[in-house]
Amino acid sequence: MKTNLVTREGYENLQKELDFLWRKERPETTEKVTWAASLGDRSENADYKYNKQRLREIDRRIRYLTKRLEEIRVVDYDPCQEGKIFFGAWVELVDDEELTLKFRIVGPDEIYGRNDYVSVDAPVARACLKKEVDDEVIVKTPVTTKNWYVNRVWYERPPK
User: pLDDT tens, 66-99?
Assistant: 999 999 999 998 888 888 999 999 999 999 898 9
Asked if 131 contacts 84 with a C-beta cutoff of 8 angstroms, the reply is: yes
For domain 79-155, is the CATH number 1.10.1040.10? no
Q: Which CATH architecture describes the domain 5-74?
A: Orthogonal Bundle (1.10)
Q: What is the pLDDT of residues 21-32, one digit of tens each?
A: 999 999 999 999
> What φ, ψ does residue 15 adopt, rounded to 5°?
-60, -45
State mean pLDDT over 101-127: 94
- The CA distance from 150 to 83, in Å, is 11
CB atoms within 10 A of CB 116: 11
In the chain, where the domains are located: 5-74, 79-155
